[in-house]
Structure 1
Amino acid sequence: MGNIILVGEKRAEIMNYTEKKYLKSLNWFRGIAIIFVVLTHVYPISFSDDTAYVVFSVFNNGTFYFVFIAGYLFWHLKDRFEYKTYLRKKIDFVVLPYIFVYLSVLILVSIASNFYELPWVVNILEPLKQEGIVWHMLVGGKGPNPPMWFIPMICIFFIMSSWIYKLSESKIFYFVFIVSLSFSVFSFRGPENIYPVYSFFHYLGVYLFGIACKKNERVIFDKASVMVTPMLVLYLIFTYVDVVTGFGAEKHVFFSIPTDISDIIVNYNQASKVFGALFFLSLFFLIEKKNEKADFKILNTLAEYSFGIFFIHWYWILVTREITKRLEFTQYNGIEFYIMVILTFSMSIISIKLLKRITGKKSRQFCGC
């Protein structure tokens, strides 16, 4: 009888967690995700070549976690899903900040290029042609803020959300999920990240992976203590293979149909993030299960400002890179990297706080948070 009561209490604990509107574990994970995104872009050039490649490989492709969390939260809020309302919110809180943060800089670059030699070309007079200002906004990746390639891609997910919702409710969901995730692991990003439609298919499996994990949240929460160690081991193994093979998510482009088994190229970096997502998810579930009052203030802060940090961190990377170069910190092994990381995060958050104070309740429409 006692065992029955314990089992009942355990089920109640799991059900209570999975019915929460606010998931602390996912918020912590968002904090981890933005750390990976920023550290990907603060390339560790002041380390030795070998160390730099290891650091880059470990933190590369933070986009995986962002897309995974997006899929997870999409299904977490499925009961509130209404297509037109959903799109309206995404326009307000994603598209408008994108226009504010990126279009204004593109215009400034176009004007400044008449007086200075800049590494970017922005053509206002022929906006639809390659390097035109509208073209830049539609592809996002080849301009003064390269991480913006993510926005045109994620907008396709927003547009396709009604189809994704119906797919996720259908009997073929897990089949499509497995096929899509397999494609994701055997494909690579396109050159310069200027192909949002291709990127959508490259990351579709990752988004569906997030949905699948939310669908099985009770199982993952219940088995978190069993999962956390093997997921960490597999994560480290695939990261190690990625480093050793020298591939990395940026070394190959697109997807080619292999004619021979020897032609098959695995995106080990992408594969490692599959296990990384399960590791972080089970780890945070385990922490929250053992201590409901557990809190990570730094991760919560990073999560709160994550979208704003995403939008502007590249500008601060450019500034801090110039500062460390002028101060000749590159002569000290690794110092430049640490300084750039600290300055990029701190200045991004300070900038966002300032913008939030200026824009008030409309801040999400300017900086996404």
Structure 2
Amino acid sequence: MSGDHSISMSRDSGAQSKSPGKVAYLGYLEGFRGMAIIFVVMIHANNAMLQRGVEGVTGDFSWVWTTFHILSHNSTVYFALISGVLYAYHLHRKPHGVFLRSRIEAVVVPYILVSVVLTLALAGIATLRGDGAIQPSDLAGQIAYNILFGEAWNTLWYIPVIAVLYVISPLLLRLLEDRNFGLPFAALMVLLPLVISRTGTEVTPSMLLFFAGVYTVGLLIGRDPENSLERLQRSTTAIAIVAFLAAATVWALDRSGIEFVGPTSIRESAIYVLRIALALLMLIGLRAYSDRFGPLTNRALKLIAAYSFGIYFLHAPLLRPIVKVVGWFVPEGNPSWALAAAVLVTFAISLVSTTLIVWAIKTATGKYSKYIIGS
């Protein structure tokens, strides 16, 4: 989703060269990117359905809500981790200005375009509803604010966050590789999200610090992905146990209605542990078994991975009309089985429809599509 689509690059033979190097293609990273956007769409389908598609669900404990949150809440962690892996693996070889320019073209430019379109569309809808016409000066200020803080839609907050991480990537990697301070710095950054929680969809210093910790995990893996995953594979059972315990903690917290201890959301802390553990398990599994998935599954994952940024931009606005329609079929009383089915149907419709729209845009605009939808 973050626009880091290239994994294989050409190498200059000079040992000290800052030019991109030819590195081994890591196909499992593409599979992981595909899985990541699937989980992002899933959590937003859940939230949209239970908050907007039906009434009377939020407020009390719901095993449907908690189950889908355990499966997919904060799946943007996966994308931040992928970006960290790719930067440490080969993107750091580019001069930083060249790296940032590529991120601006593939990430920031389409983000600005989407933010402007959504802001104008919502302003137009509000005017048609009789909520009052927005003055051009106010509209310009709203557009600027939405771009700066990712407020054009409640899923766009990730782009300002990852943009900051792109800027400071060389500093983070340099600190990790410092002989004296690398190890304590790595430990500090990886543990930071346990006490500094993400702040919903609001871009704050806490949000930046949380995802800087996630990004650092990616940097640590990306310095030598093959050896890192080879070592982690020996601890697969232990990682799975950690994931299970983290999931059980989220369930218990939701059941009891407990979330905060002081300023720290212990629910988000448990979700962070769960996401990192599941990310490691997926990477280990994809690395070992993706060649056994069959050509159809692998092609589907690669297609979704290639379209992931466009899917990210488009799926959330489409969810609102989708949940309104699907919600009509949920029986009165909102039985849990019907809610779960409605979430899955909403998820499937959103994923398929946005994939088709991205394909149509790419077909119509060719190489310029990256400036429009980042894919």
* Range class of TM-score, shorter chain: 0.7 to 0.9
1:1-369 matches, cutoff 5 A: 20-43=23-46, 45=50, 49-78=62-91, 80-116=93-129, 124-126=136-138, 132-141=142-151, 143=152, 145-171=153-179, 172-191=181-200, 193-223=201-231, 225-246=233-254, 251-252=259-260, 255=263, 267-287=269-289, 296-328=298-330, 332-369=338-375
Q: Is the 8 A contact 1:30 1:66 kept in 2?
A: yes
Structure 2: segments with no counterpart, 5+ residues: 1-21
Mapped contact 2:66–2:251 kept (Cα < 8 A): yes
Deviations 1:102-142 (A, max 9, x none): 21110121233122167xx987523686xx2211111114x
Q: Which moved more, 1:86-95 or 1:276-285?
A: 276-285
Whole-angstrom CA distance in 1 between matches of 2:246 and 2:193 = 15
How many Å separate the matches in 2 of 1:308 and 1:356?
10
- TM-score (ref. length: structure 2): 0.80
Residue identity matched to 1:112: I
Verify the 8 A CA contact 1:329 1:335 in the aligned structure 2: no
- Cα distance, 1:221 vs. partner? 3.7
- RMSD of aligned Cα (Å): 3.3
Quote the offset at 1:329 in angstroms.
Answer: 6.6
| Runs of 4+ displaced beyond 6 Å | 263-266, 289-295
Are the equivalent residues in 1 in contact too, given 2:64–2:340 (CA < 8 A)? no
Shift of 1:225: 4.3
**How far is 1:286 from its partner?**
2.1
TM-score under structure 1 normalisation?
0.81
Cα separation, partners in 2 of 1:216 and 1:88, compared to 1, 3 Å: closer
Identity over aligned pairs, percent: 20
2:77–2:214 CA contact under 8 A, matched in 1:
yes
Return the alpha-carbon distance in structure 1 between the equivalents of residues 263 and 125 of structure 2: 38
Checking the alignment, whether the CA contact within 8 Å between 2:198 and 2:207 is kept in structure 1 is yes
Assess if the C-alpha contact under 8 Å between 1:242 and 1:269 holds in 2: yes
Distance, in Å, in 2 between the alignment partners of 1:254 and 1:75 is 35
Which secondary structure state, in structure 1, belongs to the residue aligned with residue 128 of structure 2?
A: coil
Quote the Cα distance in structure 2 between the aligned partners of 1:247 and 1:74.
39
Kindly indicate whether the alpha-carbon contact (under 8 Å) linking 2:84 and 2:217 is maintained by their aligned counterparts in 1. yes
For 2:290 and 2:352, how far apart are their aligned partners in 1?
A: 28
Secondary structure, aligned partner of 1:363: helix
CA contact (8 A) 1:139 1:152 kept: yes
Aligned AA (1:305): Y
- Secondary structure at 1:146 match in 2: coil
Structure 1 residues 289 and 314: CA distance shift in structure 2, 3 A: closer
- The separation in 2 between residues aligned to 1:182 and 1:292, in whole angstroms, is 38
Letter in 2 for 1:229: T
SS at match of 2:198: coil
1:202-251 per-residue CA deviation (whole Å, 9 max, x = no partner) reads 11111011111122434334345423232222112211111112299x95
**In structure 1, C-alpha distance between the alignment counterparts of 2:340 and 2:268, rounded to whole Å:** 30
Residue 26 of structure 2 aligns to which amino acid in structure 1? L
Q: CA contact under 8 A between 2:186 and 2:216: conserved in structure 1?
A: yes
| Letter of the 1:24 counterpart | G
Tell whether the 8 Å contact from 1:188 to 1:253 is kept in structure 2 after alignment. Answer: no
CA offsets 1:18-67 (integer angstroms, 9 cap, x no match): x8432111111111111121111112637992232122222101011111
Q: Structure 1 residues 206 and 127, CA, compared in 2 at 3 Å: closer, same or farther? A: same
CA distance in 2, matches of 1:111, 1:292: 47
| Matches of 1:294 and 1:335, distance apart in 2 | 25
Query: Which structure is higher in RCO with an 8 Å CA cutoff and minimum separation 6?
Result: 2
- The number of residue pairs the alignment matches comes to 338
Q: Is the 8 A contact 2:82 2:218 kept in 1?
A: yes
Query: Which ranges in structure 1 are unaligned for 5 or more consecutive residues?
Result: 1-18, 257-262
